[in-house]
Amino acid sequence: MFSCYTLETLAQSALLDPPARLSVLGDPVAHSLSPQMHNPALAACGLEASYVRIAVKNADFTRALHDLRHLGFIGTNVTIPHKCTALDSVDAVDPAARRLGAVNTISFLPDGRTLGRNSDGPGFVRAVQQEFGADIRDLRILLLGAGGGAGGAVAVQSALEGCRHLTLTNRTQSKADEVAHSLRDLLPTQRCLTLPWTPQALADVLPNIDLIVNATSLGMDPTDPALLPDGLLTPSHLVYDMVYKPLTTHLVAAARTAGARAINGLPMLLWQGVQSFEWWFDRPAPVQAMRDGLTAAIASSSSS
């Protein structure tokens, strides 16, 4: 069930029991944990559908959407490198996805059109709500790695939610400046600032921060440099490291040692999946089934 199809072998997915009706398109995509999260959800809801991975080259993306529609698919997720291509390949785009400049969830509508949306921002909001019991609009946020991708989505969604204050930093500060400039219509200048990624600048700002988000890949390798200088985290901080391999990064460990509440990137992955499921089926997702599937997949990959 968790094998990876290509456009040439895609028709075989109709022979699955139940047949494939949802997917994730990417290149590469064999590593995706989405099937292990969505298939338990489909089973829990009694839906006669399977979720599969499909490896698709960027030049074949439009053909892939046509083939999925022809095979009766309900929708698909989209991952690297297709998120920007998807934006220009669907018939309609949700305003938030248009603002983010990327689509990662596509629905095949009954009227024959394709609708593109982006679950990155909503997944971030729901993760903070569910894991920390906090609302983005009430928080002063420090975003590490604000140059684009996941960081860009977090920045845009935080501004859309009207957060109390947003501080952006990036190894290349000009990229953070560009993101901040793009948000001027959502947050006034005094509520959206950038700062250089230096120990002194971070030391100056952290006493006035509620939520720290790491949107970089730093922490995946044990030899990566520390994201924050030692001794700056306090029990009042919330720390959200979007890295989930390893499950406990240096940042998460440091936060917990300081008495702060900290989570890794798994909740983001979970709540993105929940959002996609609810868009496709217009019903509440079975969150616990999805969480259990994701947890089991991570445990299996960690032990292999």
Range of the domain at 97: 4-118
Q: What is the structure's pLDDT at 2?
A: 57
Asked if residue 184 is part of any domain, the answer here is yes
pLDDT digits (tens, 9 = 90+) for 110-146: 999 999 999 999 999 999 999 999 999 999 999 999 9
Mean pLDDT of 210-216: 96
Mean pLDDT of 154-178: 95
Structure tokens at 10: 């895609």
Domain-terminating residue out of 118, 141, 159: 118
Q: Predicted confidence band at 168 (pLDDT cuts at 50, 70, 90)? A: very high
Active site residue 83: yes
- Indicate which CATH number applies to the domain containing 41: 3.40.50.10860
Q: What is the structure's pLDDT at 101?
A: 87
Whether 302 shows a pLDDT value over 70: the answer reads: no
> Are 86 and 143 within one domain?
no
Asked if residue 276 is part of any domain, the answer here is no
Mean pLDDT of 151-177: 94
pLDDT mean across residues, the chain: 94
Q: What is the structure's pLDDT at 137?
A: 97
How many domains would you assign to the chain?
Answer: 2
Q: Which of 57, 83, 175, 245 is catalytic?
A: 83
Q: What is the structure's pLDDT at 150?
A: 81
Asked if residue 298 is part of any domain, the answer here is no
Domain-terminating residue out of 87, 118, 149: 118
pTM: 0.90
> Are 128 and 101 within one domain?
no
> Are 49 and 165 within one domain?
no
Q: Which phi and psi (to 5°) does residue 240 adopt?
A: -125, 100
